């Protein structure tokens, strides 16, 4: 991974880790997939190794990402799902030709079929998004409480009371702000 580019925030849920490659959507937006190579790197970090990626494929990946973000956000607030976003997610899910294979160690791996593999990898991500938006998995979609973030994340905590998309960034920033606020009160 190159130090010239922003790091990835890798979570345990594929679809929302993917939407997390664009951060601070309501603030100083940061694109963590600025080049096709960074999409290759991100996919590799998520056990979806592809041969190559074109600029057009990166564009489609970002379109899928924003569609998942829109649909997951709507689902989190129980609003109607945006039709265009649903169509794009479904298109990707239907087009992908990845096969789930079982390793000798009993783990699931994705076997990507097509030439570059990018479309298949996006299909896996789209199917993952469908499973969480459709409520097929144990957890709850929620929006990050940070006003500059508001990312949709998948809360798998037992109490379903998680407030931040990421404890290391949004949660930590909140903690620091609260600490400073308390200190200012104490000083005055
Ligand atoms: Zn956040």
DSSP sequence for 142-154:
EE-S-TTT--EEE
Contact 156, 139 (CB under 8 A): yes
Q: Is residue 173 part of a domain?
A: no
Q: CB neighbours (10 Å) of residue 174?
A: 16
Q: Is residue 7 part of a domain?
A: no
pLDDT on residue 12: 87
pLDDT on residue 186: 67
Q: CB neighbours (10 Å) of residue 183?
A: 10
The tally of domains found in the chain comes to 1
Q: Is residue 1 part of a domain?
A: no
Q: Is residue 175 part of a domain?
A: no
pLDDT tier, 187 (very low <50, low <70, confident <90, very high otherwise): low
Kindly give the distance from the C-alpha atom of residue 145 to the centroid of ligand 1, in angstroms, as a whole number.
7
Kindly give the distance from the C-alpha atom of residue 151 to the centroid of ligand 1, in angstroms, as a whole number.
5
**Which residue range is the domain that position 91 belongs to?**
14-138
Q: What is the pLDDT of residues 92-130, one digit of tens each?
A: 999 999 999 999 999 999 999 867 799 999 999 999 999
DSSP sequence for 120-146:
HHHHHHHHHHHHHHTT-SSSEEEE-S-
pLDDT on residue 47: 93
Q: Is residue 109 part of a domain?
A: yes
Between CA 91 and CA 68 the distance in angstroms is: 12
Q: How confident is the model over 50-61, as a mean pLDDT?
A: 96
pLDDT on residue 130: 98
Kindly give the distance from the C-alpha atom of residue 114 to the centroid of ligand 1, in angstroms, as a whole number.
34
Kindly give the distance from the C-alpha atom of residue 3 to the centroid of ligand 1, in angstroms, as a whole number.
23
Task: Look up the pTM and report it.
Answer: 0.91
Q: What is the pLDDT of residues 141-162, one digit of tens each?
A: 999 999 999 999 999 999 999 9
Q: Is residue 148 part of a domain?
A: no
Q: Is residue 2 part of a domain?
A: no
Q: Is residue 58 part of a domain?
A: yes
């Amino acid at each position: 991974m190159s130090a010239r580019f922003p790091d990835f925030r890798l979570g345990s849920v594929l679809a929302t880790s993917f939407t997390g490659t664009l951060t601070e959507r309501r603030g100083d937006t940061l694109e963590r997939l600025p080049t096709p190579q960074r999409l290759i790197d991100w996919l590799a970090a998520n056990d979806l190794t592809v041969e190559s990626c074109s600029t057009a494929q990166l564009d489609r990946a970002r379109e899928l990402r924003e569609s998942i973000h829109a649909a997951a956000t709507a689902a989190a607030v129980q609003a109607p799902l945006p039709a265009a976003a649903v169509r794009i997610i479904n298109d990707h899910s239907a087009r992908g030709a990845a096969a789930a294979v079982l390793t000798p160690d009993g783990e699931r791996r994705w076997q990507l079929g097509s030439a570059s593999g990018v479309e298949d990898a996006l299909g896996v991500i789209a199917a993952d998004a469908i499973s969480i938006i459709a409520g097929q998995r144990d957890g709850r979609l929620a929006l990050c409480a940070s006003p500059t973030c508001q990312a949709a994340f998948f809360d798998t905590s037992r109490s379903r009371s998680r407030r931040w998309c990421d404890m290391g960034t949004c949660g930590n920033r909140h903690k620091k702000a609260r600490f400073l606020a308390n200190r200012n009160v104490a000083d005055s």
